[in-house]
Amino acid sequence: MTTPSNTTAPTPLAPNPTKPVDSAPGYLSVRKYNFWYGTNQTLFDVSLEIPEKQVTAFIGPSGCGKSTLLRNFNRMNDLVDGIRHTGDITMAGHTIYDPLIEVTSLRKRVGMVFQKSNPFPKSIYENVIYGLRVGGQNSKADLDIAVEKGLRAAALWDEAKDRLNQSALSLSGGQMQRLCIARAIAVEPEVILMDEPCSALDPIATGKIEELILELKKQFTVVIVTHNMQQAGRCSDRTAFFYLGKLIEYDTTVTIFTNPRQKQTEDYITGRFG
């Protein structure tokens, strides 16, 4: 594509002294990762390091592989028949594909929030402690504490504390999504994956979730997939741009948005395609 731009030559990246890029091993690291659905390859030789207790945003046009990569961090793609991968993903230095580790224990360490909020048709209380219940925790006192902690962390406590036994389906759309976040937090994971968490929400609910994300990074490593450039700019520390299954550029969010090295990145961010 030809774009009459005045920034045709990518300016060399100014190295950030506090946050070294692409060098130090991150908390989650992806190494030479290729991925296929059947015969259809959706990720090509992706390598990146995601640092601990920061927000990393994945951006790119639809079908670029960002969601696929996200869903591989907790091996959600295992549910699909005919998948295959090469390369490796490690978490805190350990491969997530270790055959000795059950996938359920990986998913307890890596929580996930989906694009469409999916609370269970149970009470708010039961929703929050679902992960603890399936993990075998049944002490009422512990569960009560976990519910309050989870709902407070998801900034839902004040709205929900008087109706914990009501159906989760009685909540508004934004509240449901925060309930899903509370549900993920209650398991006390290390990483929280968010797959376009605000795409079905109005601007006010979106604002609340974004505030929440900034709060969450004090405790958790957050990876977020988003189509909303402003959102990536507002709440992420680092941004990775994907295009057609390849990682085009990965850097601090400030750099990506102000001084991208690749022309494709700049075109996407400025809205020339995508």
Partner 1 sequence: MQSTRVVGEPMVWLSAMGLGIGLLMVAALLWVIIANGVQVFWPKRIEVFTLTIDGKEQVIAGELVKQQHKASSVQGKQGAEEYQIFTGNKDIYGQGFRYIDVSAITKRTMPSDALLVERLEYGNAIGAPVRLVIKGEAPISATDPLFRSRLGEAITEVSDRRDAILALEKGQIGAINREIASLEYHLKAVAGKDAADEQATKQRIADLQKSYDVLNAKAKELRAVQDDDQVVIRPYGGEERTVSMGTVVSTTWSNELSLFGQIGAFVHHLWSFLVERPREANTEGGIFPAIFGTFVMTILMSMAVTPFGVVTAIYLREYARQGPFVRAVRIAVNNLAGVPSIVFGVFGLGFFVYIVGGSIDSLFFSDKLPTPTFGTGGILWAALTLALMTVPVVIVATEESIAAVPRGAKEGSLALGASKWQTIQRVVLPAAIPGILTGLILAMARGAGEVAPLMLVGVVKLAPSLPIDGIYPFFHLDQKFMHLGFHIFDLGFQSPDSEAAKPMVFATTFFLIALVMALNLGAIILRERIRRRYATAAF
Cα gap 28→92, rounded to integer Å: 6
- CB 19, min distance to partner 1, A: 29
Nearer to partner 1, 68 or 264 (CB): 68
- CB 163, min distance to partner 1, A: 16
8-16, 44-52, 147-155, 183-191 -> range binding partner 1 (CB under 8 A): 183-191
Nearer to partner 1, 80 or 214 (CB): 80
60-68, 178-186, 208-216, 220-228 -> range binding partner 1 (CB under 8 A): 178-186
Which stretch of DSSP H or E encloses residue 50? strand 40-50
Q: Pick from 176, 216, 222, 256: which binds partner 1 (CB under 8 A)?
A: 176
Q: What residues between 87 and 146 interact with partner 1 by CB under 8 A?
A: 104-105, 107-108, 111-112, 114, 116-121, 130-131, 134-135
> How many beta carbons lie within 10 A of that of residue 26, not counting itself?
20
> How many beta carbons lie within 10 A of that of residue 109, not counting itself?
16
Q: Is 261 exposed, middle or buried (0-12, 13-18, 19+ CB in 10 A)?
A: middle
Beta carbons of 255 and 88 less than 8 angstroms apart? no
72-80, 84-92, 158-166, 224-232 -> range binding partner 1 (CB under 8 A): 72-80
Total binding residues toward partner 1, as defined by CB under 8 A = 28
Amino acid letter, residue 21: V
The neighbouring-strand residues paired with 112 are: 193
Q: Pick from 42, 74, 226, 264: which binds partner 1 (CB under 8 A)?
A: 74
Nearer to partner 1, 112 or 247 (CB): 112
Does 160 bind partner 1 (CB under 8 A)? Our answer is: no
Q: Pick from 28, 96, 154, 180: which binds partner 1 (CB under 8 A)?
A: 180
Relative to beta strand 246-252, strand 83-91 is: unpaired
Cα gap 106→98, rounded to integer Å: 10
Nearer to partner 1, 123 or 255 (CB): 123
Q: What residues between 8 and 37 interact with partner 1 by CB under 8 A?
A: none
Structural tokens at position 8:
């045709």
Beta carbons of 35 and 41 less than 8 angstroms apart? yes
Does 265 bind partner 1 (CB under 8 A)? Our answer is: no
Does 184 bind partner 1 (CB under 8 A)? Our answer is: yes
Alpha carbon 127 to its chain centroid, in Å, reads 20
Pick from 209, 216, 261, 208: nearest CA to 239: 261
Cα gap 57→238, rounded to integer Å: 6
Contact residues for partner 1 (CB under 8 A)? 74, 76, 79, 81, 104-105, 107-108, 111-112, 114, 116-121, 130-131, 134-135, 167, 169, 176, 180, 183-184, 187
